[in-house]
Every structure is written in C-alpha cells, then in structure tokens.
Structure 1
Amino acid sequence: MTEEQIRHARALLTHPDATVASIARLLRVSRSAIYKYVPELEDGGRPAVGASTGRSRLGPGA
C-alpha cells in the first residue's frame, strides 16, 4: 500500500460503519494488506477521529 492509501484507510476507519472489507475494496487492496499496514486493527481497536493510526470495520455486508 502507498502512504496515501494507508492514510486514507486510517481516515475511513474512524467511521463507525466502516469495515475493513469495504475499505479494501475501495482502495483496491486485500483485507490482509489493510491489517498489515494498519496493525492497530489486530487488537480490534478503531482509530480516533484525527488519529494517524488505527483500524475498524466499514459497512454492512463486508
């Protein structure tokens, strides 16, 4: 993932309805890439608004 994609993923993960799967589809990367480059998600945590790191889930059906 590029630095821009990582920043975008982290920003999207601040949204309560965001899922890793939907973010991965949007950025055209695998879910495993999201988990690799946003390691905070492994703990099940979500980034705070404005945080530079973090993971969360995006949208239903993801």
Structure 2
Amino acid sequence: MTPEQVRHARALLTQPDATIASIARLLGVSRSTIYKYLPELKTGGDHQTIDVPTVRAELQAPSTRHPAT
C-alpha cells in the first residue's frame, strides 16, 4: 500500500459504518494487507479494536436537548 492509501484507510476507520472488508475492497487490497499496514488494529474475537485517540464525541453534532429549568 502507498502512504496515501494508508492515510486513507486510517481516515475511513474513523467512520462508524466502515469495516476492514469494505475499506480493503475500496482500496483494492486484501484484509490481511490492511492489518499488515495498520499495526494499530488488533483483533479480539468477533470485535475489532482500533487503537486510535477518541475524538468521536467532538465530531458529533451538538445535542439538541435543552437543560431542564
């Protein structure tokens, strides 16, 4: 994989619906290639753990709830 593909794969992994399989298909590589070039990915049973800083809360839209008065 090129450095640009690796960056693209990492960016895609931040998307909630992204899977290793879908990213591999998009980039035209195998799943094992994704794991080879992204060592931060760890497999644990049926779930995949991504060791990436948690920024999802900052990316979500602000809450529309109003504080109770």
Specify which structure has the higher proportion of helix: 1
Q: Unmatched 5+ residue regions in structure 1? A: 50-62
Structure of larger gyration radius: 2
**Runs (4+) of structure 1 moved beyond 6 Å?**
none
Check whether the contact 1:6–1:37 (CA below 8 A) recurs between aligned residues: yes
AA aligned to 1:47 is: V
TM-score (norm 1): 0.70
Number of the residue aligned with 1:47: 52
CA RMSD, Structure 1 to Structure 2 (Å): 1.5
Structure with greater strand share of residues? 2
User: TM-score scaled by structure 2?
Assistant: 0.64
Work out the percentage of aligned pairs sharing the same amino acid.
71
Show CA shifts across 1:9-54 (max 9, x none): 00000011100000000000000010010111115125345xxxxx
